[in-house]
Amino acid sequence: QSLDGCVATRSGDSCFVNGPETLTHLHRLRALSDAVIVGAGTVACDNPRLTTRHVSGPHPTRVLLDPTLRLAPLVDRAHVFTDGQAQTLWLCDAAWREPATALAGPSRVLAVPGLTGDGGVLQLERAVAALHSQGLTRLFVEGGGVTVSRFLARDCLDRLHLAVAPLLIGDGRPGLRFNGAERLSDCLRPGSRVYRMGSDQLWDLDLRTQG
């Protein structure tokens, strides 16, 4: 993200907020993970490949968090559906199992009962459990900002890597956003380490400990 907390401009341009060293680190995280998770918005805006092409190591399973099949019009042209470079799982609510299977085939669909809860709040702990049941235990929630924020708000993250670039975007698309505490004393203060990544700074935050 930028110094002022944005992950893209207001038009959605995000290539690239961070420098090449951070991009290499991102690919290393993919190589260390069983699965990499992105939201439908990231696929629609960026058309990512989610592979490890900048480092040596296996490609993770690509998981597309898309409860109501927003990506249906892109099944025939998005890289994650068409390039054949790595396994892709379309993660949706069980109510959408049939249309998802018709579009992508049963091996590419992971339909989770009750993924969309009351008021449209995603029950992400159910998504995590469903992925674990597939043998995918080391999960990397890559983005975008809305998806990462949702996992954080549901207490479904163990660690957070926050790469900050010396860049000011202004009224761009925000990174982390969630309902915070009223008092500073109640805010999250995770244990942290900081690393230099070229001109960026990488914050490695342990969300299961307090700093």
- The per-residue pLDDT for range 33-54, each reduced to its tens digit, is 999 999 999 999 899 999 999 9
pLDDT of residue 118: 87
Residue 209 banded pLDDT, cuts 50, 70, 90: very high
Q: Tell which wins on pLDDT, 120 or 19.
A: 19
> 65 pLDDT exceeds 90?
yes
pLDDT at 12: 87
Interval 173-185 mean pLDDT = 93
Residue 143 makes CB contacts below 8 A (sequence gap 6+) with 7, 38, 39, 42
Please state, in angstroms and rounded to a whole number, the distance separating the CA atoms of residues 152 and 177: 9
**What is the reported pLDDT for 119?**
86
Is residue 120 very low, low, confident or very high in pLDDT (cuts 50, 70, 90)?
A: confident
User: For 69-80, b where at least 16 C-beta lie within 10 A, e where not — what string?
Assistant: bebbebbeebbb
In percent, the amount of the chain with pLDDT more than 70 equals 100
Give the pLDDT score at 20: 96
pLDDT of residue 15: 86
Q: What is the mean pLDDT of residues 135-158?
A: 96
How many whole angstroms separate alpha carbon 134 and alpha carbon 89?
Answer: 11
202 pLDDT tier (thresholds 50, 70, 90): very high
> Percent of the chain scored above 90 by pLDDT?
93
pLDDT of residue 200: 98
Average pLDDT in the chain: 96
Q: What is the pLDDT of residue 133?
A: 97
Confidence bin at 210 (pLDDT 50/70/90): confident
Peptide bond into 151 cis (omega under 30): no
Q: How far apart are CA 194 and CA 199, in angstroms?
A: 13
**Residue 102 predicted with pLDDT over 90:** yes
Q: Would the pLDDT of 56 be above 90?
A: yes
| pLDDT at 77 > cutoff 90 | yes
